[in-house]
Structure 1
Amino acid sequence: MRLLLLEDNAKLNQTITKRLILKGYKVDTFTDGLEAYNNIDEGYHCFILDVNVPSFDGVKLLKKIREYYTEVPVIIISASVELDVIKEAYDFGCNDYLKKPFFIDELEIKIAKLCNINDNIISFDTDCYFDFKSSLIICQGKEQRLTRKERLLLNLFLSHKNRLLSFDTIQNYVWEGNIASLESIRSLLRRVRKILPKEYIQTVVDTGYIFKTS
């Protein structure tokens, strides 16, 4: 299981990371909120976020995560006891809130309870799955490696299966805030459709796309 840890206290970051690695987790650590934000699409099973960090605070990052991942657990760790901060974190969809200082055992218990996902594989048909770790689509025994934008698009679709995604949502996520023409989006969709063995991606005219699974 792969975790993202955002904690700007270097000593605490190192302590948490060592303990989680000993538990068998794969941990990517960040001390800067913006750097963490630029990596949230890497296929994490759980996010552990401090609130008061440089560049981009943990609650803002939580809000961004929830725009794309409605079910991935998020644990907030913070020294703040301000009710407004705690309420805001829960309003934006955090799964649990751990006040500093805390025993690392407490965090381990929460991770085990909330983030019990055992692999990097997302199946979207009986013989098709996406491997986050290797950025591979495997369908009917055939492997296809994805480019960064292809991976971002598929990641977005599989996090919102059977739900409409607008052109703006795709642009904001896949182009990471930069402007993309409608033709660029359509070109990317055509490439991904060629990789997939079935017509999973359905077009909603003048609106966007739906990744349909059974």
Structure 2
Amino acid sequence: MKILLLEDNQKLNDTISKRLKLKGYNVLSFTDGALALEAISEGFSCFVLDINVPNVDGIKILKKIREIYPKLPVIIISASVELDIIKESYDFGCSDYLKKPFFIDELEIKIERYCQIQNTKIEFDKNCYFDFKSSLIIINDEEKRLTKKEKLLLNLFITKKNQVISYEAIENYVWEGNFATLESIRSLIRRVRKILDKEYIQTVVDTGYIFKTIEI
């Protein structure tokens, strides 16, 4: 899973980044709000934003994220205890607000909660699972490697299991903000369906796809 971290305190930034990477997350970190704003369309599953950062503050970035991604998790981390700022964060759609200082474990728990990922192995059924750390699909004990776009597509489906994912959402996430034709999306879906060898991915006519798994 890919996380954008914005924290202008370099020591805290490094600490959070290291801890999340040890958990198997792909972390892209920033200390400058303007640079983070430029990167928000690059296929992230979760955003962790400080408010008081150079050039563009976290609230403005939150507002922009919500224009593009209405439902992706956005966790605000801030030393501010002003009720107006906390209220503004929630008004503009933050998923949660974590006041500094905090334990990194608290942040990990919130990321897992909002992204609905409790461990690095996600089972589709008793014979098939996806390993986030190695980015491998394991089917009947056979390892199947994935391309970057195949990994991103599975990441998106897994974090949104049993929810309809639009063509636009796939384009934004998998192509990381770049243009993709409908045929390119369909071609990628066909490749992943072939790898999985089962009909986990179901078509929603004229809309997109839904990823359905068997309850273990």
CA contact (8 A) 1:75 1:95 kept: yes
Sort the Cα spacing of 1:140 and 1:55 in 2 relative to 1 into closer, same or farther, 3 A. Answer: farther
Structure 1 length as normaliser, TM-score? 0.73
Q: Verify: 1:198 aligned to 2:202, yes or no.
A: no
* 2:44 aligned residue (40, 43, 48): 40
Sort the Cα spacing of 1:17 and 1:152 in 2 relative to 1 into closer, same or farther, 3 A. Answer: closer
Residue 129 (structure 1) aligns with: 129
- What is the RMSD computed on CA atoms of the aligned residues? 3.5
Deviation at 1:142, TM superposition (A): 1.2
Residue 177 (structure 1) aligns with: 177
Q: Deviations over 1:104-142 (max 9, x none)?
A: xx3346337545776322222222111112111111111
Deviation at 1:143, TM superposition (A): 1.0
Deviation at 1:83, TM superposition (A): 4.2
Looking at structure 2, the residues matched to 141 and 66 of structure 1 have their Cα atoms a distance apart, in angstroms, of 36
Sort the Cα spacing of 1:109 and 1:180 in 2 relative to 1 into closer, same or farther, 3 A. Answer: closer
1:1-214 aligned at under 5 Å gives the runs 5-14=5-14, 16-17=15-16, 21=19, 28=27, 29-32=29-32, 33-34=36-37, 37=40, 38=42, 40-41=44-45, 48-53=48-53, 57-59=57-59, 60=61, 63=66, 67=70, 69=72, 75-81=75-81, 83-91=83-91, 92-98=93-99, 102-103=100-101, 106-108=102-104, 110-111=106-107, 114=110, 119-214=119-214
CA contact (8 A) 1:201 1:211 kept: yes
Higher relative contact order (CA 8 A, sep 6+): 2
Q: Tell me, which stretches of 5 or more residues in structure 1 are unaligned?
A: none
Q: Tell me, which stretches of 5 or more residues in structure 2 are unaligned?
A: none
Sort the Cα spacing of 1:174 and 1:35 in 2 relative to 1 into closer, same or farther, 3 A. Answer: same
Looking at structure 1, the residues matched to 55 and 137 of structure 2 have their Cα atoms a distance apart, in angstroms, of 34
Sort the Cα spacing of 1:65 and 1:13 in 2 relative to 1 into closer, same or farther, 3 A. Answer: farther
Q: Secondary structure at the match of 1:209?
A: strand
Deviation at 1:171, TM superposition (A): 1.1
Q: Secondary structure at the match of 1:188?
A: helix
Sort the Cα spacing of 1:184 and 1:30 in 2 relative to 1 into closer, same or farther, 3 A. Answer: same
Looking at structure 1, the residues matched to 153 and 37 of structure 2 have their Cα atoms a distance apart, in angstroms, of 21
CA contact (8 A) 2:76 2:94 kept: no
Greater displacement, 116-125 / 140-149: 116-125
Looking at structure 2, the residues matched to 113 and 158 of structure 1 have their Cα atoms a distance apart, in angstroms, of 18
